């Protein structure tokens, strides 16, 4: 395949790989190009063909990524070849076909081929071949592509299938994060990316749903959640909003759906139907439209398919009973055992996970609703053996309910089974003891320790330390195997793995790589650590915990309706609040700025920034919240705009005790792991925050006293 004929995206991927001397993950490439991981995966076949045409081999490995096998000279030659090609952007076939679909599905009037030739600067023959490819895609929705000479091309099919096709087209090409941002009205295009094909295509698809309609629908959906007594999961919530926004737009265009009368009679008595009726009345009033009864059934179907209940413990109203779900999951686990040679029968976590997932999944499948899996391409590319096992397990569902299981659902089964099988494989591996470090030894390190312990069953975090006061001799005496740090640490013999506070996929790959290298060496027996503490020492320690908790509660502060345009201004506000004198304010501002410069702790997707340090300017641990009148905008590591709506301030004295640091570190852990706690911090009064914090720290104290 000639590089001159390659898509722009394939050339960009080759350029990135040629400049790297080690494996690069799909996520990293996607981040650099500001596209989705799925887009990169789609281009890999073309990339591989291009490299093969030029005599260069290409390597793909799970947990590691992509790598070009070649000498420096080979890569330089390839870079020159890519760089000398014309700069006109070339649409890949998939990109052309996506845009053609978006045009045809939203407008049933015939479109001339000439119209598409002008958009893409290609021949009518190329557009005709694209249409041939699209016929197969449309068949899965029972849609027909009608081509009439002199008239043009258009789509023919039922309104329900057209809506399904539009929704799936959006989800196939727009990441969940972009949909979230679109709903928050944060979806802006940076000036240097305005010409990107991926962004232009994404915008075209998002134009299929109206932003103003979405804003009104979100308010109404929250009312429905209150009526039903439970909240939708984030992905289900986004899906429901998108479905409703599209339905409203189609109704306005006089395109109305029809629902089987027997199904309509079956669901009339359900709680979800009552909620849908309430929602429809509210939508009619808010948007000044008339919604037919069949649309109520359509909305009911999506509410049922979007439930976020714990099926294992609450099975009333399920499409199938709880006992049947448990039996179904157990039968699938038996198949997985035979295929994987792993004993999984006593894995209660796997059983509960499958039961909870299958409750909603079977409901959606029986109602002929789509199941989407944004991670499907990655699972197929890097875990094909788990997918094969999952296909066998999916046959149990197919035989039981006489329904076809789509690949997206098989991918979800693979996610559950893969976690259990990988855990089983690590059960016999050596347990590692790690120290987690950050410059202050409080906020970021506590978050990181919590993430590591939840992700790795064979890594025990026995120390949380400050990089400033790191004592290698003490770590060696504690038999620490390695240090996981948020900043580089020089001059120590122990291995150091540098990661971000929230432990990204790239960070996990680095840790996985290190563990594999260790496992390839001679295995040491796991060490059991037992601390023997006499009564007096225990009482002194508990006294320090209680003093620290009282200190934190007594000096909690909340600043509402503040104005700040940057992190720097937030730091100034915090310093002025906590510093007793102008000298101490200046010192605290310097310490906080130094900590921020070593690595920010903006928490992507959570709307807050953690501002923290240890400083000689204060003599007690401090916790506070600064809420902003107007959010601070910033670009996250995926190149997307996000808001900072509030800041959480954590300060500890330079000579803070281990117990004080643990208390304030517990707050960091709660911010990440307990969504209700974070919501109270974000929206609650000072009294409600005090009460929530008291309850959580009381639990922490009880655990410490029982150890």
Cα–Cα distance measured from residue 496 to residue 487, given in angstroms and rounded to the nearest whole number: 10
Say how many C-beta atoms besides its own lie within 10 A of residue 434's C-beta: 25
Q: Is residue 31 domain-resident? A: yes
Sequence-distant (6+) residues with CB within 8 A of 479 are 433, 527, 529
- pLDDT-based confidence at residue 183 (cuts at 50, 70, 90): low
Q: Is residue 312 domain-resident? A: no
| Residues 681, 603 share a domain | yes
Could you tell me whether strands 432-438 and 459-466 are parallel, antiparallel, or unpaired per DSSP bridges?
A: parallel
- pLDDT-based confidence at residue 10 (cuts at 50, 70, 90): confident
Identify the residue with better confidence: 283 or 249. 283
Identify the residue with better confidence: 178 or 415. 415
Q: Is residue 384 domain-resident? A: yes
Cα–Cα distance measured from residue 4 to residue 20, given in angstroms and rounded to the nearest whole number: 23
Contact 152, 112 (CB under 8 A): yes
| Residues 17, 150 share a domain | no
Cα–Cα distance measured from residue 408 to residue 91, given in angstroms and rounded to the nearest whole number: 27
Cα–Cα distance measured from residue 337 to residue 530, given in angstroms and rounded to the nearest whole number: 36
Sequence-distant (6+) residues with CB within 8 A of 586 are 575, 579
Residue 516 pLDDT = 74
pLDDT tens profile 395-439: 999 998 888 898 989 988 988 888 777 665 555 456 788 888 877
| Residues 692, 572 share a domain | yes
Say how many C-beta atoms besides its own lie within 10 A of residue 181's C-beta: 20
Mean pLDDT (whole number) for 607-624: 90
| Residues 359, 397 share a domain | yes
Residue 178 pLDDT = 60
Find the range with the poorest average confidence among 164-178, 197-211, 344-358, 511-525: 197-211
Cα–Cα distance measured from residue 217 to residue 593, given in angstroms and rounded to the nearest whole number: 41
Is residue 561 within a helix (H) or strand (E), and if so which, with residue range?
strand 557-562
For 254, counting Cβ atoms within 10 Å of its Cβ (0-12 exposed, 13-18 middle, 19+ buried), the class is exposed
- pLDDT-based confidence at residue 136 (cuts at 50, 70, 90): confident
Number of domains in the chain: 6
| Residues 264, 135 share a domain | no
Structural domain range at position 466? 432-520
Identify the residue with better confidence: 353 or 574. 574
| Residues 217, 189 share a domain | no
Residue 617 pLDDT = 92
| Residues 500, 440 share a domain | yes
- pLDDT-based confidence at residue 142 (cuts at 50, 70, 90): confident
Across the beta sheet with 496-498, what order do the strands follow? 459-466, 432-438, 482-485, 496-498
Which of 192-196, 200-204, 435-439 ranks highest by mean pLDDT? 435-439
Q: Indicate the average pLDDT of the chain.
A: 78
Identify the residue with better confidence: 538 or 181. 538
- pLDDT-based confidence at residue 200 (cuts at 50, 70, 90): low
- State percent of the chain over pLDDT 70: 81
Mean pLDDT (whole number) for 621-627: 93
| Residues 569, 659 share a domain | yes
| Residues 448, 332 share a domain | no
Say how many C-beta atoms besides its own lie within 10 A of residue 541's C-beta: 17
Q: Is residue 88 domain-resident? A: no
Q: Is residue 59 domain-resident? A: yes
Structure tokens at 6: 């390659």
Cα–Cα distance measured from residue 328 to residue 331, given in angstroms and rounded to the nearest whole number: 5
Q: Is residue 605 domain-resident? A: yes
Cα–Cα distance measured from residue 628 to residue 566, given in angstroms and rounded to the nearest whole number: 11
Chain centroid to Cα 539, Å, comes to 43
At 253, which CATH number?
1.10.1790.10
Identify the residue with better confidence: 575 or 238. 575
Residue 453 pLDDT = 75
| pTM of the shown model | 0.43
Q: Is residue 530 domain-resident? A: no
Identify the residue with better confidence: 205 or 323. 323
Contact 324, 332 (CB under 8 A): no
Mean pLDDT (whole number) for 240-262: 78
Find the range with the poorest average confidence among 14-28, 279-293, 300-314: 300-314
| Residues 698, 549 share a domain | yes
| Residues 403, 284 share a domain | no
The answer to whether residue 445 scores a pLDDT higher than 80 is: no
Q: At which of 173, 190, 206 does a domain end?
A: 206
- pLDDT-based confidence at residue 572 (cuts at 50, 70, 90): very high
Q: At which of 83, 112, 143 does a domain end?
A: 83
| Residues 119, 178 share a domain | yes
The answer to whether residue 277 scores a pLDDT higher than 90 is: no
Query: In whole angstroms, how large is the CA radius of gyration of the chain?
Result: 28
Distances (CA, A) of 599 to 123, 501, 609: 51, 9, 12
Contact 371, 412 (CB under 8 A): yes
Mean pLDDT (whole number) for 556-564: 92
Cα–Cα distance measured from residue 655 to residue 669, given in angstroms and rounded to the nearest whole number: 22
Total count of residues recorded for the chain: 707
Cα–Cα distance measured from residue 326 to residue 693, given in angstroms and rounded to the nearest whole number: 38
- pLDDT-based confidence at residue 665 (cuts at 50, 70, 90): confident
Residue 523 pLDDT = 43
Checking phi first, is residue 341 left (phi over 0); if not, alpha (psi -120 to 50) or beta?
left
Q: At which of 64, 83, 102 does a domain end?
A: 83
- pLDDT-based confidence at residue 550 (cuts at 50, 70, 90): very high
Mean pLDDT (whole number) for 63-79: 77
Structure tokens at 537: 């020492």
Which of 106-110, 439-443, 645-649 ranks highest by mean pLDDT? 645-649
Q: Is residue 317 domain-resident? A: no
At 79, which CATH number?
1.10.10.10
């Amino acid at each position: 395949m000639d590089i001159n004929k390659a898509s722009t995206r394939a050339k960009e991927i080759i350029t990135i790989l040629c400049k790297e001397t080690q494996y690069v993950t799909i996520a990293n490439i996607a981040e650099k190009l500001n596209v989705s991981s799925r887009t990169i995966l789609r281009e890999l076949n073309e990339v591989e063909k291009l490299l093969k045409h030029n005599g260069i081999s290409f390597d793909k490995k799970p947990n590691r990524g992509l790598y070009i096998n070649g000498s420096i000279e080979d890569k330089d030659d390839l870079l020159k070849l890519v760089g000398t090609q014309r700069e006109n952007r070339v649409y890949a076939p998939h990109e052309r076909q996506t845009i053609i679909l978006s045009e045809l599905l939203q407008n049933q009037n015939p479109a001339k081929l000439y119209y598409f030739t002008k958009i893409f600067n290609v021949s009518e023959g190329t557009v005709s071949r694209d249409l041939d490819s699209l016929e197969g895609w449309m068949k899965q929705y029972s849609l027909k592509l009608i081509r009439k000479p002199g008239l043009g091309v258009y789509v023919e099919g039922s309104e329900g299938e057209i809506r399904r096709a539009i929704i799936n087209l959006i989800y196939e090409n727009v990441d969940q994060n972009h949909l979230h941002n679109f709903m928050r009205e944060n979806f802006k295009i940076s000036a240097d990316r305005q010409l990107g094909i991926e962004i232009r295509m994404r915008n075209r698809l998002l134009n299929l749903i109206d932003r103003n309609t979405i804003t009104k629908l979100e308010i109404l959906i929250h009312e429905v959640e209150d009526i039903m007594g439970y909240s939708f999961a984030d992905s289900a919530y986004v899906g429901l909003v998108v479905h409703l926004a599209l339905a409203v737009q189609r109704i306005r265009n006089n395109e109305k759906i029809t629902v089987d009368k027997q199904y309509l009679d079956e669901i009339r008595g359900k709680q979800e139907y009552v909620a849908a009726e309430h929602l429809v009345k509210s939508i009619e009033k808010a948007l000044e439209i008339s919604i037919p009864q069949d649309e109520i059934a359509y909305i009911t179907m999506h509410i049922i398919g979007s439930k976020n209940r714990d099926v294992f413990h609450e099975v009333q109203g399920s499409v199938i009973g709880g006992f049947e779900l448990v039996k179904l999951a157990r039968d699938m686990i038996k198949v997985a055992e035979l295929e994987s040679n792993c004993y999984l029968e006593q894995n209660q976590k796997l059983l509960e996970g499958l039961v909870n997932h299958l409750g909603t999944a079977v409901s959606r499948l029986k109602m002929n609703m789509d199941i989407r899996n944004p991670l499907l391409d990655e699972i197929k590319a890097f875990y094909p053996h788990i997918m094969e096992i999952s296909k066998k397990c999916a046959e149990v569902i197919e035989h039981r309910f006489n329904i076809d299981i789509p690949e997206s659902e098989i991918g979800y089964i693979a996610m559950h089974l893969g976690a259990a099988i990988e855990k089983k494989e690590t059960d016999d591996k050596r347990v590692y003891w790690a120290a987690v470090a950050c410059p202050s030894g409080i906020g970021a390190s506590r978050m990181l320790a919590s993430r590591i312990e939840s992700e790795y069953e064979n890594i025990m975090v026995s120390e949380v330390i400050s990089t400033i006061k790191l004592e290698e001799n003490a770590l060696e005496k504690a038999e620490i195997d390695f240090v996981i740090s948020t900043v580089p640490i020089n001059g120590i013999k122990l291995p150091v793995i540098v990661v971000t506070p929230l432990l990204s996929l790239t960070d996990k790959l680095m840790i996985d790589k290190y563990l594999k290298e260790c496992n390839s060496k001679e295995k040491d027996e796991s060490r059991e650590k037992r601390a023997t503490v006499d009564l007096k020492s225990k009482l002194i320690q508990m006294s320090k915990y209680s003093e620290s908790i009282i200190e934190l509660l007594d000096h909690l502060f909340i600043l509402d309706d503040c104005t700040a345009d940057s992190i720097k201004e937030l730091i100034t506000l915090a310093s002025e609040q906590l510093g007793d004198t102008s000298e101490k304010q200046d010192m605290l501002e310097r310490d906080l700025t130094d900590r921020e410069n070593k690595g920010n702790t903006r928490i992507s997707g959570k709307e807050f920034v953690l501002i923290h340090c240890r400083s000689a300017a204060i003599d007690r641990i401090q916790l506070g919240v600064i809420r902003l009148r107007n959010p601070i905008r910033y670009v996250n590591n995926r190149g997307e705009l996000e808001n900072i709506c509030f800041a959480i301030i954590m300060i500890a004295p330079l000579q803070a005790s281990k117990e004080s640091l643990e208390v304030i570190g517990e707050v960091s852990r709660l911010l990440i792991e307990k969504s209700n706690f974070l919501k109270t911090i974000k929206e609650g009064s000072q009294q409600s925050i005090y009460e929530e914090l008291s309850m959580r720290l009381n639990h922490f104290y009880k655990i410490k006293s029982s150890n």
